[in-house]
Structure 1
Amino acid sequence: SCLSQQECILSGIMSVNGKKVLHMDRNSYYGGDSASITPLEDVYKRFNLPGSPPESMGKGRDWNVDLKRYNINWATIKRILRSDNDDCQLVRMLLITQVTRYLDFKVVEGSFVYKKPKIHKVPSTETEALASSLMGLFEKRRFRKFLVFVANFDENDPKTMEGVDPKKTTMREIYKKFDLGQEVMDFTGHSLALYRTDDYLDQPCMEAINRIKLYSESLARYGKSPYLYPLYGLGELPQGFARLSAIYGGTYMLNKPIEEIVMENGKVVGVKSEGEIARCKQLICDPSYIMDRVTKVGQVIRAICILSHPIANTGDVNSCQIIIPQNQVNRKHDIYVCMISFAHNVAAQGKYIAIVSTTVETGEPEKEIKPALDLLEPIEQKFVSISDQYAPTDIGTESQIFISRSYDATTHFETTCDDIKDIYKRMTGSEFDFAEMERKKKDTFGDDDS
């Protein structure tokens, strides 16, 4: 295994499942492109900025700057606690394997959506709908009725369906049923249901209804938002899975240059490093280790912004997620903003880190994120990167090489989760066996679920 976020998590799963796992990474840290970099001086070096951080930034060791940021959705956790819904297997695995023993999470304090010219709190309850500045009076009433319909909807109780066939009626038809306009559709689909495109509009409505319902239920239960963020940064997540793997016999080798992936008869048999070959039957790696078996599928721009103030119009929260729906800025892809701060032990006292990201659509990527950067001003320091996105052309059936996808622009965990599940299924031929994981966890940790 050559370690990005997906590889670290899969190593934990495979170790629990009895596989012998060796991690080799050319980097000196866990997590690849999703690592947390500390001290701040190293961030300046990584982005080739001259000089050192100014004294106003505080101590360099007070900073843990994520190269890629996403939040874990409480809605996801809630769903897996109450059902076996396939969408949530990763977080269920988090809980079952007890990786949460090694991590401390903090609730992200706000969830916002952009509607020209400013951001608004995402309304997800009847009360919030009526108070929201996103809509006019009559639209508020229609949206409130829509939320009541969603909250009461039960596919096993026809009385709650109001004539809707969950397997045939599209989400576009649901919006039309409640006479909801384009802007309401935008924030509902992209900020509540967390869809990346509008393709869902012409799909059967059941999945979207469940997504919206879970967002609302989770917010009602946990308060400020349905999102979690690890204290000390995202790099804690792969380290947690590294510890899990070690408990089950996994071995780690950082600062290990990969010279060659050794093949015999079209199948991987080992990895060569510093003149020695570590033999293996299967290999998991990110695209950078094996570029001849991937294809470029796009680019992502990210801007890491250091602020000395909370984002305007958020109520001065210490953390938040903002989604700028594609239609609000005449784009084909949403723009994402995730802000955390000293409250999460990732920045010096009084400082905030906001990461802006989107899929590149033009030859001037930095202009594309201007609507988001404008929300953050004044920006004390900015680190901009443009990354190529790759997808595997080899699914691993013959070669037994399983390549993860590059990170996309989203700030939530859903697409990374999908990739992990896909690789696991390709490697093993089956879905996660949670019952077996639960048994093995109890053998190791006992029955204590604390």
Structure 2
Amino acid sequence: MDENYDVIVLGTGLTECILSGLLSVDGKKVLHIDRQDHYGGESASVALSQLYTKFKSTPLAKDDMEARFGRDRDWNVDLIPKFLMANGELTKILVHTDVTRYIDFKQVAGSYVYNKGKVYKVPANEIEAISSPLMGIFEKRRMKRFLEWIGEYKEDQLNTHQGLDLDKNTMDEVYYKFGLGASTKDFIGHAMALWTNDDYLQQPARPTFERILLYLQSVARYGKSPYLYPLYGLGELPQGFARLSAIYGGTYMLNTPVDKVLYDDAGRFQGVVTKEGTAKAPICIADPTYFPEKCKSTNEKVIRAICVLNHPVPNTNNADSAQIIIPQSQVGRQNDIYIAVVSDAHNVASKGHYLAIVSTTIETDKPHVELEPAFKLLAPIEERFMGIAEMFEPKESGSEDNVYLSKSYDASSHFETMTDDVKDIYFRVTGHPLVLKKREEVEEE
């Protein structure tokens, strides 16, 4: 085994694999190690039999399972479900690194929001806003004016600002200016800007403005919804970045536990010892499970329920995939509930089956009861698997010991917060921001 590298990456979660790919493209010599025998770490995609092993005390006999759910190998179930925004940061990274040539994406059929006990499609443009049953006739006009303002706003043209200052006015003041009602604010803030709670209302409007713009631009790209999803599941993403890294000379070792981490006298990272020998590098990037002592809990826990259905979700127009958001105010909570729905159309379930994965931030000591509103929408449910994950983040920036740690994956159902983490770690490791530019093609061997 080669002794010296520029960077050692521990864990093949998506955050780690993207960084490994980006640094390889930058010309760094990367060694990537995972103690598990598969890619993806916490965010892997697994077969149905693996779900039974992971979440149920008694596994289901193979014959019983295949009789109920079809062939095990037809299932690729995401442990952490998230969609990509068509115009979002992760999509840009995929395009710029050329990882798109290893992965096929399919559009998610619709984006829905829960309102007064029912599911409605989130208006994707001004025309849908006018016909949406979510709003009355006057509210529709106000909403149309609001969306037009977002679309026509130009930083350097004051006459497009309508007297609003995105850095001084709060989002609540912006809504007030357009006269928007409570339930409209709800679906704009939660189903378009994708905030997980209502804290954003009292904050400057710019981040929300940018999020709504991203949503609208993503919808405009392909119609129907702003979301994309890879065929064969999200486990394809880490593997795509792993292949990218390998083309640029990166080395991958799965099924390789780290026996010891080496530091110099000043406490800076020096390398790792594994069954293959000693590997040295001045920098380490890792997921929180490799350095629990360097992490702290965010005091949040996420519950996720993987539900197997044999029917499309009611009131979604028989969509083969959907994102459904239950805003917290609709169900008397502090945090939204997310439902990501995919199906055999994405090669992640056997014929005629759907996967609906529900997630939220836990607020009580009866977390499974917190998901009831979602279970009601999905019923009947054939099988469900529930897991609770504690959220961790690094205690330090990594500049002292050169160990840079990623954050746990949150309850949101898209990758924007994760890509913020990627860019943040990239900046801390390299000292310069991630600039996405088209690069020369490198031939695969």
Task: Give the TM-score normalised by structure 2.
Answer: 0.93
Tell me, yes or no, if the aligned pair for 2:125 and 2:216 is still in contact at 8 Å. yes
Deviations 1:340-388 (A, max 9, x none): 0000001000000111001111111101111111111111010100011
SS at match of 1:444: coil
Deviations 1:249-302 (A, max 9, x none): 011111111222222221111112237322221111111111111011121100
Q: Who is 2:4 aligned against?
A: none
C-alpha separation between the residues in 2 aligned to 1:235 and 1:217? 26
Q: Does the alignment pair 1:104 with 2:104?
A: yes
1:316: Cα distance to partner?
0.3
User: For 1:129-148, what aligned pairs fall within 5 Å after superposition?
Assistant: 129-148=129-148
SS at match of 1:70: coil
C-alpha separation between the residues in 2 aligned to 1:111 and 1:419? 25
1:327: Cα distance to partner?
1.1
User: For 1:15-414, what aligned pairs fall within 5 Å after superposition?
Assistant: 15-38=24-47, 40-48=48-56, 49-52=58-61, 53-76=65-88, 88=89, 90-265=90-265, 266-274=267-275, 276-297=277-298, 298-414=300-416
Tell me, yes or no, if the aligned pair for 1:155 and 1:166 is still in contact at 8 Å. no
User: For 1:429-440, what aligned pairs fall within 5 Å after superposition?
Assistant: 429-435=431-437, 438=438
Deviations 1:402-444 (A, max 9, x none): 1111111111001110111111111111101334xx3xx3052
Which stretch of the first structure deviates more once superposed, 350-359 or 176-185? 176-185
Q: How many residues align?
A: 429
1:75: Cα distance to partner?
3.1
1:205: Cα distance to partner?
2.4
Tell me, yes or no, if the aligned pair for 2:18 and 2:238 is still in contact at 8 Å. yes
Q: Who is 1:81 aligned against?
A: none
Q: Which amino acid aligns with 1:23?
A: H
Q: Who is 2:5 aligned against?
A: none
Q: Which runs of 5+ in 1 are unaligned?
A: 77-87
Task: Give the TM-score normalised by structure 1.
Answer: 0.92
Q: Who is 2:418 aligned against?
A: 416
Q: Which amino acid aligns with 2:281?
A: C
Q: Who is 1:80 aligned against?
A: none
Distance 1:445 1:93, change over 3 A: farther
Tell me, yes or no, if the aligned pair for 2:112 and 2:324 is still in contact at 8 Å. yes
Tell me, yes or no, if the aligned pair for 1:15 and 1:250 is still in contact at 8 Å. yes
Tell me, yes or no, if the aligned pair for 2:124 and 2:225 is still in contact at 8 Å. no
Q: Which amino acid aligns with 2:249?
A: G
SS at match of 1:399: coil
Deviations 1:174-197 (A, max 9, x none): 110121122211110111112223
C-alpha separation between the residues in 2 aligned to 1:345 and 1:275? 36
SS at match of 1:398: coil
C-alpha separation between the residues in 1 aligned to 2:359 and 2:206? 29
Residue identity over aligned pairs, in percent, reads: 50
C-alpha separation between the residues in 2 aligned to 1:364 and 1:431? 42
C-alpha separation between the residues in 1 aligned to 2:210 and 2:420? 18
C-alpha separation between the residues in 2 aligned to 1:221 and 1:444? 28
SS at match of 2:401: coil
Deviations 1:144-168 (A, max 9, x none): 2222222222222222222222332
SS at match of 1:386: strand
C-alpha separation between the residues in 2 aligned to 1:93 and 1:143? 32
Q: Who is 1:82 aligned against?
A: none
SS at match of 2:377: helix
C-alpha separation between the residues in 2 aligned to 1:149 and 1:426? 37
C-alpha separation between the residues in 2 aligned to 1:162 and 1:415? 30
C-alpha separation between the residues in 2 aligned to 1:136 and 1:155? 32
1:11: Cα distance to partner?
0.3
SS at match of 1:213: helix
Q: Which amino acid aligns with 2:295?
A: V
C-alpha separation between the residues in 2 aligned to 1:205 and 1:254? 45
C-alpha separation between the residues in 2 aligned to 1:102 and 1:142? 44
SS at match of 2:195: coil
Q: Which amino acid aligns with 1:11?
A: S
Q: Which amino acid aligns with 1:442?
A: E
SS at match of 2:393: strand
Tell me, yes or no, if the aligned pair for 1:124 and 1:147 is still in contact at 8 Å. no
C-alpha separation between the residues in 2 aligned to 1:220 and 1:92? 16
Tell me, yes or no, if the aligned pair for 1:124 and 1:192 is still in contact at 8 Å. no
SS at match of 2:27: coil
Q: Which amino acid aligns with 1:249?
A: G
C-alpha separation between the residues in 2 aligned to 1:184 and 1:70? 24
SS at match of 1:296: strand
Q: Which amino acid aligns with 1:349?
A: K
Q: Which amino acid aligns with 2:199?
A: D
Q: Which runs of 5+ in 2 are unaligned?
A: 1-8
C-alpha separation between the residues in 1 aligned to 2:443 and 2:76? 30
1:50: Cα distance to partner?
2.4
What is the aligned counterpart of 1:12 among 4, 21, 30? 21
Tell me, yes or no, if the aligned pair for 2:307 and 2:385 is still in contact at 8 Å. yes
Which stretch of the first structure deviates more once superposed, 54-63 or 43-52? 43-52
C-alpha separation between the residues in 2 aligned to 1:165 and 1:274? 59
CA RMSD of aligned residues (A): 1.6
C-alpha separation between the residues in 2 aligned to 1:358 and 1:372? 10
What is the aligned counterpart of 1:428 among 416, 421, 430? 430
Tell me, yes or no, if the aligned pair for 2:309 and 2:382 is still in contact at 8 Å. yes
SS at match of 2:356: strand
Q: Who is 1:84 aligned against?
A: none
SS at match of 1:134: coil
Q: Which amino acid aligns with 2:366?
A: E
